[in-house]
Structure formats: structure tokens, C-alpha cells
Structure 1
């Protein structure tokens, strides 16, 4: 990999529906060159698959995050499945695992149940993720299109039209809406171990004022962002990369010095897995709804 590959990867992580031509225009190379580099990253298993990541609250679920250490990942997944469906699982350097589960019932009760089940595991952190800024108003049409895009989020409008029976105009309108929805991300899954000299990492930042701090962080550190930050309540997750392990530590220290930040935790992923059984089941239920707009039903 080189710096151009990283920039292409970053664009795709933030929106994998961006065309090769558009990415090329933004980084200063041809669309043909972008396509060739993407294909090479797929062949080298840097890009494992393109994915549609949907935040569970959009479909009426809560999501609990866990940071645990000192246990086999399969054992952890087996235990948390008793509480809810896994959303994603990320084993990290240092025997740390970051994972999340999707739950339908009272998240506080589910959190207590999870703590009991993980009594023999060292739980570094457990919390319910919330982002009050997220607002979605999905229609039955959007749900149908999402169902198709789960298989391949880069499908062309004409291909979606053929499978769905909707007009290309209807699909284009829905896609624009979905791509502007903070709770729906057209992204990809990459393999950190295959990124040559580049080291991806995440920094979990505890803050006092999310909006103000996020603006400061973006202004100072955006050149090191691998993808857009993720926000929930009073925490920000920064997805970053470096070509030097010592720079990673320096970035962590500099972030800690930003006014309004009271905690910084660093994670180096070894593998990233999205699990979508929960979303398939949620879509089946949403399709059964008699309502055209699903917001009132989903959030009731």
C-alpha cells in the first residue's frame, strides 16, 4: 500500500458508493487508476467486503458496547448471544476485544444480565451507545432498497431497479436520502493485518462538549483520520492511521492535551467483523408493517 491507496480506502470507508471517477477527481488521479487500485486491494485482501452498516436505533433496537480482556473471543460471543445479537466484533492487540450487541428490550436490564454472564471476564467498559443527533424516517421503499443493498452496497441504480421493480428515479431519491443519513453508512470491512506499513487504530475519547471538541479534533488531526469519527453521548471514537507506531503514541498524547477531553483510550484492531443477522430479522419485521413511514412504529 501507499498513501494514495490509503486515501482511496478512506473515501470508501466513508461512502463506498462514491464512483471511481469522483474519488479520482478528489485525490488527483484518473477513475481508471482508482478502479485498478481498488481491485488490487481486494486481491490482496486489504478490502474484505463492502458493507452497509446500520445503527440499530434506526430499526427500533438499542445497542450495548463492551470492552473486555483476557478471554477467548468465541467464548465471549457465545456468552453475549444470550443477551442479544452481536452487531460487530473487533479483537485488538493486547487481548482486548471491543464488541457490541443489539437488544430489543430494556437495555439497562440487558446490561446487568451481560455483566453477570461475563463475571469471569475482565470488563473494562460497558455502555449503551446513544447519539441524540441521529434521526431517521425510513419508508417501506427505503427498507426494500436497504434489503437489496445489504448483499452489495455498491450496486448500480439500474441493477437495484431490476431487482426491486422501482423506477430509477425513486431509487436515486432513496439512495440520496440514505447516504445523507448519519445512522446509515455505506462502508467496507478491511483487514488491518494486510495494510503493510500502515497501522490503523481507534481512539476512544471522553469529552465534556461533543460538538465543540469534535470541531477541534477535526481541525488538528483530520489528516490522520482513516474515516469519519463516530459519536455517542459524551464520547467520540476517532478512526485513525499512521505509518509509525511511535507517531501513534504521540497522536494519543496530543489528543489528550485538547481542552475538554478528560479520557483517551487507544485500540489497535487485529480483525473487524460485522454481523447482520439482527438487521435481516429487523427488515423482515419492518416489511410486515402496514405503515408507509416507519419512524412512529419503530420508535414507539
Structure 2
């Protein structure tokens, strides 16, 4: 996997319905070359999940991240499934650790009471010995127009296959391609629904790295810190997850080797504006429906009845 594949994954992660022509313009290849790369990423399992989900702001959701530490007595597979059974939790990465077990958890919550309930649920698991949980800043756009019956009809077809071509949608729901194309444009413009991919980096023999960074706010702002990381590691830097209440961020990287991971870790740790950093390596993950996916499916099911 090279830098072009990573750029494709990043774009498809944000919008899995992006056209091959648009991707080709971004990575400066022909549409056919991009198509072949996307198909290879799908066959290799790197691009394995394509979903239709609400913009979290539509349901009033915010994001959280947690580090769950255990005594090491659990079956990892069973423990991940137990955590993932909570309706607020959508992603769990198993972390390499020298003692016990450690898991990085992502999810969505719609109220402080719900966040407290999530915290209680995780703390009360028998194997858990420590828990850190943070509300993280999100950059989702403000939703605009409400969705109508036509839009829901199109989304109902797409949730089984978000990559479905306009001609296929047209045949399935009995509307003209022109009407379907207009509905899709209106859905996109409304910013209420997202078409996303959830990649599996382990399938591409890549190392998924998370660095917990505590920085000095008197020396650098969050925005400047993110820009600095991106300028230093434009290919490797995947996403930032910044705490909403403290100068703490988990920066996610995708690298080809542990040597590359060590280089990134050392560069960040030695920066004058970084107070402390902890490097976490994820070697497997579990994916579960986020509330933004579950609630959209419930709406589509209700409207269908």
C-alpha cells in the first residue's frame, strides 16, 4: 500500500460515494487506475464496510473516547463483543500492552446522563481495573433541510449497498435516474446523512498507531498543533481526537512498520510544546453500529411500515 492508496482511503472514508473521476483528480491518476485500486482495497479487506449514517449533529450526539485497562484475565474476542454490545459504542481497538489488557473505545452519546451510564457500564465490567473517558471535539457540519419521503426512499435502497449506482437505485425503487440523481444531490446538500467507509488497516498489513499527546497551551493552540502534525507527517497522520475539556489529544497514524512508528513517536515527544506523550499500537479492532447508524435505520424502518 502506497501514499496513493492512503489518499484514496481517506477520501472514501469521508464519502464512499465519491466518483472515480473525482478521486482521479485528487490523486492525479486516470479513473480506471483509481477504480482498480479501489477494487484491490476492497478485495484485500482494507475497505470492508460501507455505511449510510446520520450526521451525529442530527441526533444531538457528541463523541467520546475511552481507554479501558483490564487485569488480563479476559478472552479478548468475548470482551470486545461485550463492550461493543453497548448501543453507544461503535469501535474498539485492542492495544499492545506489557501487562493486562488495554482497549481504545470510541462512541457517541446524546446527554451527560448517557455518558455517565456508559462510564458506569465500562467500570462495572469484572475485568476492568482502570478507565479514562474523554469527550472529544467533532467537526461535523451543521445539518440543514429536513429529509422528505423521496430522500428516505432512496436511502432505504442505499443502506443495503451505499455504493449502488444511480441506474440500480432507479430500477429498485421505480424512479427515473434524473429523479434519483436530484434526490442524492439534495441529501448531500442537506448535510444530514453521511456515506462513509470504515477501513480495516490491519488487513492491509499496516500498523495503526495512536499517540496520546498532552500539550502546553501557552506555547501552541490545538489548531496549530494539528497543522504541525499534518505538516510533519502528511501521509501517516490519519485523524485527531481532541478532548473537549483539557489539552489532550489522541492522534491516529497509519504506518508501514514499527520503525516508522518509533520515528513519529520520538519526533512528537521531543517537541518543545509537548508535555508528555504515550504511544499505543493497535493490532485488531471490532466494529459495531454507532447510534448515528442505528437511529437512521430505525427511521427508515418506521417510514417503511
User: Alignment partner for residue 209 of structure 2, among 177, 192, 201?
Assistant: 201
User: Alignment partner for residue 221 of structure 1, among 213, 230, 233?
Assistant: 233
Are 2:67 and 1:72 equivalent residues in the alignment? no
In structure 2, the partner of 1:152 is 161
Pairwise mapping of residues 50-69 of structure 1 onto structure 2 (< 5 A)?
A: 50-52=50-52, 54=54, 56-69=56-69
User: CA-to-partner distance for each residue in 1:190-242, whole Å, 9 max, x for gaps?
Assistant: 241x324x4232323334332222222222222322x3434452444433222
Write the distance in 2 (CA, Å) between the matches of 1:204 and 1:148: 40
Q: Which runs of 5 or more residues in structure 1 are unaligned?
A: 291-300
Are 2:139 and 1:128 equivalent residues in the alignment? no
For the residue of structure 1 that corresponds to 2:283, the secondary structure is coil
RMSD: 3.6
In structure 2, the partner of 1:49 is 49
Give TM-score, length-normalised by structure 2. Answer: 0.73
Contact 2:80–2:286, Cα closer than 8 Å, also in 1: no
Are 2:248 and 1:240 equivalent residues in the alignment? no
Write the distance in 1 (CA, Å) between the matches of 2:257 and 2:280: 15
Are 2:139 and 1:110 equivalent residues in the alignment? no
Q: Which runs of 5 or more residues in structure 2 are unaligned?
A: none
Contact 1:53–1:187, Cα closer than 8 Å, also in 2: no
Contact 2:207–2:283, Cα closer than 8 Å, also in 1: no
Alpha-carbon distance change, 118 to 151 in structure 1, aligned in 2, over 3 angstroms? same
Write the distance in 1 (CA, Å) between the matches of 2:142 and 2:88: 23
Alpha-carbon distance change, 223 to 126 in structure 1, aligned in 2, over 3 angstroms? same
Contact 1:48–1:191, Cα closer than 8 Å, also in 2: no
Total equivalences in the alignment: 283
Pairwise mapping of residues 176-215 of structure 1 onto structure 2 (< 5 A)?
A: 176-178=189-191, 184=194, 186-192=196-202, 194-196=203-205, 198-207=206-215, 208=217, 209-215=221-227
Write the distance in 2 (CA, Å) between the matches of 1:9 and 1:127: 27
For the residue of structure 2 that corresponds to 1:155, the secondary structure is coil
Write the distance in 2 (CA, Å) between the matches of 1:168 and 1:204: 43
For the residue of structure 2 that corresponds to 1:269, the secondary structure is strand
User: Alignment partner for residue 89 of structure 1, among 81, 89, 92?
Assistant: 92
Give TM-score, length-normalised by structure 1. Answer: 0.74
Give how far 1:251 is off: 0.7
Contact 1:160–1:171, Cα closer than 8 Å, also in 2: no
Contact 1:206–1:236, Cα closer than 8 Å, also in 2: yes
Are 2:302 and 1:271 equivalent residues in the alignment? no
Contact 1:66–1:127, Cα closer than 8 Å, also in 2: yes
In structure 1, the partner of 2:185 is 172
Write the distance in 2 (CA, Å) between the matches of 1:217 and 1:140: 38
Pairwise mapping of residues 251-290 of structure 1 onto structure 2 (< 5 A)?
A: 251-258=264-271, 260-276=273-289, 278-283=291-296
Write the distance in 2 (CA, Å) between the matches of 1:36 and 1:133: 30
Write the distance in 1 (CA, Å) between the matches of 2:23 and 2:87: 38
Contact 2:91–2:288, Cα closer than 8 Å, also in 1: yes
